[in-house]
Structure 1
Amino acid sequence: MIHIAQPHVAQIDWDGWVAPLNQYALSTGLAVSAWDAQGRRTVGPLVSSRTTRFLGTGTLWNESGAGAEFEREIVAAVVDSGAPAPDRMFHGMRVSSLPLTQSGKVYGVLVFGWCFRDFTSPLECERIAKLSGLSGQALWNEVRLEAPVSDARMATYTALLATLAGSFDRQREIIDELNRVSRARDLFLATVSHEMRTPLAALSMRVELMLRTVQDLPPAIEAGLTAMRLHVRQEAGMVDDLIDAARTLTGHMSIVPADVALGRIVRDAVSTIEPAAHEKGIAFSVAPADFGDGITLAADASRLQQVIWNLLLNAIKFTPDGGAIRVAIRDSAGHVEIDIADSGQGIAAEDLPHVFGAFTLQTSGNATGLGLGLYIARRIVELHGGTLTVDSAGTNRGTTFTIRVPRGRDGAIE
């Protein structure tokens, strides 16, 4: 057995090669196999011509067959040089090769051909048949019914396979690079988000401490500290959004469902934003009046409250002074639906498909935030086995978001 050095490359999905190589074999009539860099056949031999199909019934390409050993020698030469080996002859049959590369390293070799370049003789067929455990006369009967593959035709077939392999390998490299960039981005986002949270928490605590304990602060300093407290809270909110987005992107966001009363969740979310609504003179209504106290569902209360709070905050942000916001709760067919409708600036039809994208910002009225709130909200609802949808009649005609989640634990995903 020939030892072949192994280059360090990512895991290869050899199954992906089967379909294109099989199509190549059918189109050209050549036999083709794929080998890894350690000298193991991973695909094939794939055959379609009368001659190669007949050879496949013998021992030629068995693990210890003469043809398999011949191909291993070719693979070793290609891996060692990093270039196609010169065509080699196996008792008159031409065998060619092409290296498979990833990031500049050879991770495998395509071995193809097993065809005669000109009309052969019964004697050569007898030699090949003897090495394959077949009848020489039977092999000759198959070979003489097929035309040989000329140098020009073989050059065309080789160029075709090179194009196929190059395209396949470039696609694989692009996918690997995209995955690498994605992993690096997600790790960076998660790490930086956590590193930012600690100093913000310390700053918030010290500002709050000064406002509560220092007596007779000059008005200008008190106003400055109050503004600083607001800005720190805004920054902390954005960091929390970054952390949630990082968890979503890396698949680490989860929920812990428990039996909870919907009324408490809605009340807690509404109480948080009511002062902001009153400040803008926005008419706020909830139906039914009991906030859904009679509805119990399996949900992560804090996460579902986060969704409702985010939608209500957006509604206030994009609704002008004197506008209206309506929350409607419906319980039917094992699901709970919550509509949050406003009379605000609305969403243009062409923008609706992009509302839930990450880092999607409204073009007006959004002086703060990263555009992650709706992206995170939809993921939280999906983790509950539900859906979050949006509808708008157009610009300045209001917006309605609809949360739909199952009541029972069967729909919840941990």
Structure 2
Amino acid sequence: MFTAVRELLRGRFARRLALAFAALGIGTAALTAVLVNTAFTARFEDYLSEQQHTRQQQLVSLFASDYRRDGTWDTRSLDQLAPTVTMTGSEAELLDASGRKVWSLADANVDAAMSAMHRDMMGTGDLGPPSSLPVTVDGQQVGTLQVRVPQGTVPAVDKDFQSSVNRQLTAGAIAAALVALVVGAYTARRATAPIAELTHAANDLAAGRRDRRATAIPDNEIGQLATAFNTMADRVEKEDQLRRAFAADVAHELRTPLAIQRSQLEAIQDGISKPTQEVITSLHEETLRLARLVADLETLASADAAAFTLERRPLSLTVLVTDAVTGLGDSFAEAGIAVRTDLDEVRVDGDAVRLRQIVTNQLTNALKFVPRGGTVTLTLRREGHWAILRVADTGPGIPADDLRHIFDRFFRGSTARANGSGIGLAVAAELTTAHGGTLTADSIPGHGTTFTTRLPALDGT
């Protein structure tokens, strides 16, 4: 049994929990023993007090009967009571109604040692405290009996019974401790096994095993924690996959313009070509391409701290959206995409630069997907306490598999017409959240996509 208990007690928390169960069992048994012994002690004290009271009343009745027979106190008659008083092991002294001494055992030539001998013979114990008891005959007090009667002793059978109960309680405490230890160890093992599994899974995940998951998932709070851990691990693994894909995409994006620049510059150095205006323009375009990629990366890094760097002020969202559309007018015209606006006057409290970035990122996303001849429509309305901006296009729509991920960092749709960093919509979503709003998308493949931005509106707009 002890080997099994040791197996169950692996782990510091399991040991503590099992020992707590054992301590509870021992404490319960100890408390029961205290209560039982307290009850015994009280019962024995009542028993001894009752014995003393009975002896006192017997002596009072004895002296009252003597007075009733003679109608007065007669010392010669009282001397005849001396043997009876002595046999009880008591000491007695009689006073009359006026408080004068009438009689005592000493007056009857009874030695105190004689009373002590009788107490030892009868095992009635030592004398108790003195008591003054009235002697009443026919309702009238005729004297006072001052006595000390033996305190009495607890019968041996009662003492044996108490000892037996204490032994049983001790054995019960030991048994309860063992049972509690085994039950506690088993319970602790079952309770801590999922925690140990979760700890090992967390350590493995921290060590680089991104596929590690918690396998013990009980139907309780620990199970909820394990489920949350697995969800977190899934997200970490997904982030790693997206990050690796993003790194490959960034490497590709950097490699192309750098390769072009290198080849053209080496051609000029080798004298194969001359630094004509056309070559310089090409180099400039590749440099701008690199600058845009770097700017996207900087934007992503700053989006995490946007809530702490927003420079808020009351502004017209209507004017801001109009300016963003105007700024990209040439790009839409070059792509052959029509832009329509239907904007109500709505004011918000926000950072003008960041809010414009939210709108611009949605518009540039449309430039990647909407084919020539398509249309992008922007509507701005106030609905309750919210400013609602909708950017709807007539593009090919977003596949259902992609729609779930369009706001994920580093994600790029498989149907994008142009290369990009794949972080524009993620940045827009994070900046919208930093303003206390939301950015959502609805799309039906073949019927276009609608992005909806909700921002807290200022009162009075």
Match of 1:3 in 2: none
- 354, 363, 372: which one aligns with 1:321: 372
Q: Distance in 2 between matches of 1:311 and 1:144?
A: 74
Identity of counterpart residues, as a percentage? 25
Structure with the largest fraction of strand:
1
The one of 208, 213, 221 aligned to 2:276 = 221
Contact residue 30 and residue 49 of structure 1 kept, 8 A: no
Alignment check: 8 A CA contact 1:310 1:374 kept: yes
Is the 2:398–2:443 contact (alpha carbons within 8 Å) kept by the matching residues of 1?
Answer: yes
Q: Which residue of 2 aligns with 1:403?
A: 453
Greater RCO (Cα-Cα under 8 Å, separation 6 or more): 2
CA 56–385 in structure 1, closer or farther in 2 if over 3 Å, else same: farther
Residue of 374, 378, 389 corresponding to 1:338:
389
Two-structure CA RMSD over aligned residues (Å): 4.7
The reply to whether residue 170 of structure 1 matches residue 200 of structure 2 is yes
Q: Residues of 2 paired with 1:32 and 1:325: CA distance? A: 68
Q: Give the counterpart of 1:383 among 434, 438, 441.
A: 434
Deviation at 1:168, TM superposition (A): 3.5
Residue 141 (1) aligns with residue 196 (2)? no
Q: TM-score, normalised by structure 1?
A: 0.53
Q: Find the aligned partners of 1:57 and 1:223 in 2 and give their Cα distance.
A: 99
User: Where does residue 91 of structure 1 map in the other structure?
Assistant: none
Alignment deviations for residues 228-286 of structure 1 (CA, whole Å, 9 cap, x no partner): 33333332222222223234457876422111111331122112211011112222111
Check the 8 A contact 2:307/2:434 in 1, yes or no. no
Measured in 1, the distance between the counterparts of 2:393 and 2:295 equals 26
What SS does structure 1 have at the residue aligned with 2:276? helix
Mapped pair 1:266 → 2:297: no
Aligned amino acid, residue 451 of structure 2: F
Cα deviation code 1:108-141 (max 9, x no counterpart): xxxxxxxxxxxxxxxxxxxxxxxxxxx8864432
Cα deviation for residue 316 of structure 1 reads 1.8
Structure 1 pair 138–362 and aligned structure 2 pair: CA distance change class (3 A):
same
Give the structure with higher Rg (CA): 2
Kindly indicate whether residue 57 of structure 2 is the aligned counterpart of residue 54 of structure 1. Answer: no
Separation of aligned partners in 2, 1:252 and 1:136: 71
Q: Is the 8 A contact 1:281 1:323 kept in 2?
A: yes
Asked if the contact 2:29–2:176 (Cα under 8 Å) also holds between the matched residues in 1, the reply is no
The residue that corresponds to 1:257 in the other structure is 312
For the structure 1 residues 348 and 57, does the alpha-carbon distance in structure 2 shift closer, same or farther, using more than 3 Å as the test?
Answer: farther
Residue of structure 1 equivalent to 2:160: none
Deviation at 1:370, TM superposition (A): 1.6
Mark the runs of 5 or more structure 2 residues left unpaired by the alignment: 33-165, 211-231, 252-257, 259-272
**Can you give the 5+ residue segments of structure 1 that lack an aligned partner in the other structure?**
1-27, 59-134, 197-202, 204-217, 410-414
Residue 379 of structure 1 deviates from its aligned partner by 0.6
- Per the alignment, residue 292 of structure 2 pairs with 237
In structure 1, the partner of 2:333 is 278
Relative to 1, partners in 2 of residues 1:247 and 1:148: Cα closer, same or farther, differing over 3 Å? Answer: same
Give yes or no for contact 1:31–1:48 (8 Å, CA) kept in 2: no
Alignment partner of 2:422 out of 371, 376, 381: 371
CA distance in 1, matches of 2:277, 2:181: 91
Partner of 1:65: none
Q: Post-superposition, which runs of at least 4 consecutive aligned residues in structure 1 deviate over 6 A? A: 28-34, 41-44, 55-58, 146-151, 153-162, 250-253
Label 1:54 to 1:246 Cα distance change in 2 as closer, same or farther (>3 A): farther
Higher helix proportion, which one? 2
SS at match of 1:326: strand
Distance in 1 (CA, whole Å) between partners of 2:407 and 2:31 is 58
Q: Which residue of 1 aligns with 2:89?
A: none
The answer to whether the Cα contact below 8 Å between 1:50 and 1:142 also exists between their aligned partners in 2 is no
Cα separation, partners in 2 of 1:377 and 1:150, compared to 1, 3 Å: closer
Between the aligned partners of 1:31 and 1:401, the Cα distance in structure 2 is: 57
Distance of 2:188 and 2:354 partners within structure 1: 59
- 1:150–1:275: structure 2 CA closer, same or farther, 3 Å change rule? closer
Name 1:73's counterpart in structure 2. Answer: none
Separation in structure 1 between the aligned mates of residue 206 and residue 418 of structure 2, nearest angstrom: 37
Question: Within 5 Å, which residues of 2 pair with 1:59-138?
Answer: 138=169
Does the 8 Å contact 1:344/1:399 carry over to 2? yes
Aligned position for 2:353: 302
What SS does structure 2 have at the residue aligned with 1:354?
A: coil
Counterpart code for 2:314: D
Q: 1:42 & 1:229 partners in 2: Cα distance?
A: 71
Aligned to 2:47: none
Per the normalisation by structure 2, the TM-score is: 0.48
Q: CA offsets, 1:193-228, max 9 Å, x none?
A: xxx9xxxxxx9xxxxxxxxxxxxxx99732333333
Distance 1:388 1:148, change over 3 A: closer
Aligned residue pairs total 268
